[in-house]
Amino acid sequence: MVQKNKQPPSAAKPQAAKAAAPAEPKRRGRPRAYEPDVALGRALELFRRDGFAATSLDDLSAATGMNRPSLYGAFGDKRALYIKSYQRYRDEARAAMIEIFRAEAPLRDRLARIYAIALDIYLSGASGPRGCFTVMTAASEAVSDPDIRAMVLEGLTEMDKAFSTCFRLAKERGELPEGADPIALAQLASATIHTIAIRARAHVPRKELEAIVQGAIDVMCGPK
Amino acid sequence: MVQKNKQPPSAAKPQAAKAAAPAEPKRRGRPRAYEPDVALGRALELFRRDGFAATSLDDLSAATGMNRPSLYGAFGDKRALYIKSYQRYRDEARAAMIEIFRAEAPLRDRLARIYAIALDIYLSGASGPRGCFTVMTAASEAVSDPDIRAMVLEGLTEMDKAFSTCFRLAKERGELPEGADPIALAQLASATIHTIAIRARAHVPRKELEAIVQGAIDVMCGPK
């Protein structure tokens, strides 16, 4: 059977395990052989690349340098670790974008900046473009898992709302025509986020993704 | 460990296995205990719901009523069966939409019809909305598998081209403003396909998805 989405043995995992191995200096409380924050980052990396089902506890152990009891003790079961990883992904993406959503810059500049950050996130990854956690793995889990579904819906709604605030503000400033519908525009702006996440995962080059973004901005903002 | 995306034992799989079980009348050549076309449809159903990694050979055996040697003999390994399933999904989706893309109806009507067919496809599924094979499972495999990536890219390009033909024709007929860019509009139309596929998988109700589609059509086609 073909084992897919697995890296060759020489790639990230052994390196990650090695990096976590050296004993740390003693701290308050019980000594720990791992750093939970670093471990969570490595779990996120795996889940984001391979999804929920294809990531085994052995993979997570190797990547985090934590054995199964330690993983359970620190994070709970695989699903709990997946949810914590997704939460962290969301927090990081939100932190990267929130200032731009709040900024006073003209609409076109704000949109261009938001998509540039999204492309930075989607095209990163040592073993290929990782795309978006929501689009690539969480939306698949959402169909059967109510907690993950709630997180996905919250993420989608949050993005729609942030964009619609952008468009409403721009309309008030006269940057958009009278008839512009901030909610419809916001949903198209989110759709553009989704399409570049999917295309990134299929190795569409950044230049082409930027052209798609520019075309979308031109349609959404109207003639200059 | 939580086993996700699995149906309870009472659901589709045993039923599917039972349906394939009755002996068929003798045909030319060697007798077969299964119908390859039916088996492929059941494999597609499983892959579409659970993705590549979460679907085991045992799952595929149970759903198709074929043991492992028969599966290998008929389709090759799991990856080959996945690729054949994806090809079939694409063929079916193309067949459902091709007439509408070719039709002479006004742009708004054609777009509305295309999205209605897409929603029919994405919202179907006995155990929850299945979304789009390309978006939900193939795009994840595309990052590491060149053959699946080529199919995903071909699918994305085919959709962009079909939409851009639509918009170019509409522009020639005077249904769009002078400055309309058929390629940018086509990519937004594809983005709208992608966003409804993702949202469908997160159980967003059809009414809300239809409102997103209507908003997108209004932006893409301009004021009536």
How does pLDDT run across B1-44, given as a tens digit for each residue?
A: 334 444 443 333 334 444 444 444 544 555 455 688 899 999 99
pLDDT of amino acid B7: 42
- Residues 25-44 of chain B whose Cβ lies under 8 A from any Cβ of chain A: none
Whether A160 contacts chain B with CB within 8 A: no
CB A107 within 8 A of CB A185: no
Which of B4, B184, B187 is the closest to A52 by Cβ?
B4
- Which of A99-108, B72-81, B204-213 shows the lowest mean pLDDT across its residues? A99-108
pLDDT of amino acid A215: 97
Which residue would you say has higher pLDDT here, B99 or A30? B99
Number of neighbouring beta carbons within 10 Å of residue A118: 23
Count the residues in chain A: 224
Whether B4 contacts chain A with CB within 8 A: yes
CA distance A27 to chain B (A): 31
Give the amino acid at B142: A
Alpha-carbon distance A155 to A153, whole Å? 5
pLDDT 10s per residue in chain A (224 long)?
A: 334 444 443 333 334 444 444 444 544 555 455 688 899 999 999 998 888 988 999 999 999 999 999 999 999 999 999 999 999 999 999 999 998 988 889 999 999 999 999 999 999 877 778 888 888 888 888 888 999 999 999 999 999 999 999 999 999 999 999 899 999 999 999 999 999 999 998 999 999 999 999 999 999 998 77
Contact partners, residue A20, CB within 8 Å, separation at least 6: A33, A34, A35, A38, A39, A42, A64, A65, A66
Whether B15 contacts chain A with CB within 8 A: no
| Whether B219 and A215 lie within 8 Å, measured CB to CB | no
Whether A77 contacts chain B with CB within 8 A: yes
CA distance B31 to chain A (A): 27
Q: What is the mean pLDDT of residues B114-136?
A: 87
Identify the residue whose tokens are 């940057």. Answer: A175
Task: Provide the number of CB pairs (under 8 Å) joining chain A to chain B.
Answer: 185
Nearest CA in chain A to B141: A5
CA distance B207 to chain A (A): 15
Nearest CA in chain A to B129: A143
Joined together, the tokens standing for residue B47 give 């892959």
Does the pLDDT value for residue B172 go beyond 60?
yes
pLDDT band at B122; cut points 50, 70, 90: very high
Q: Give this complex's ipTM.
A: 0.83
Residues in A closer than 8 angstroms to B194, CB to CB, are 191, 194-195, 198
φ/ψ bin of B203: left (φ > 0), alpha (ψ from -120 to 50), beta (otherwise): left
Q: Choose, out of B77, B143, B164, B185, the residue to mutate when testing the contact with A (most A CBs < 10 Å).
A: B143
pLDDT of amino acid A10: 39
Q: What is the mean pLDDT of residues B162-188?
A: 95
CB A145 within 8 A of CB B4: yes
Query: Which percentage of chain B shows pLDDT scores above 90?
Result: 64
pLDDT of amino acid B134: 87
Number of neighbouring beta carbons within 10 Å of residue B87: 13
Joined together, the tokens standing for residue A204 give 């569409």
CB B215 within 8 A of CB A181: yes
Q: Choose, out of A58, A59, A124, A140, the residue to mutate when testing the contact with B (most B CBs < 10 Å).
A: A140
Which of B50, B136, B153 is the closest to A139 by Cβ?
B136
Which of B184, B203, B216 is the closest to A187 by Cβ?
B216
Alpha-carbon distance A176 to B182, whole Å? 21
Domains of chain A (ranges; CATH) run: 12-76 (1.10.10), 86-221 (1.10.357.10)
Exposed e or buried b per residue across B182-212, where buried means at least 16 C-beta atoms within 10 angstroms of its C-beta: bbbbbbbbbbbbbbbbbbbbbbbeeeebeeb
Joined together, the tokens standing for residue A56 give 């085994």
- Residues 83-122 of chain A whose Cβ lies under 8 A from any Cβ of chain B: none
Residues in A closer than 8 angstroms to B49, CB to CB, are 143
φ/ψ bin of A63: left (φ > 0), alpha (ψ from -120 to 50), beta (otherwise): alpha
Joined together, the tokens standing for residue A158 give 């949050």
pLDDT of amino acid B33: 56
CA distance A114 to chain B (A): 17
Alpha-carbon distance B72 to B79, whole Å? 11
Residues in B closer than 8 angstroms to A184, CB to CB, are 215-216, 218-219
Identify the residue whose tokens are 């040592």. Answer: A126
| Whether B191 and A188 lie within 8 Å, measured CB to CB | yes
Which of A149, A184, A204 is the closest to B216 by Cβ?
A184
Question: DSSP string covering B71-88, please?
Answer: HHHHH-SHHHHHHHHHHH
Identify the residue whose tokens are 């029919």. Answer: B120
- Which of A3-7, B53-57, B128-132 shows the lowest mean pLDDT across its residues? A3-7
Chain Cα centroid distance, residue A106:
26
Joined together, the tokens standing for residue A161 give 């709302």
pLDDT of amino acid A159: 95
Whether A72 contacts chain B with CB within 8 A: no
- pLDDT mean across residues, chain B: 85
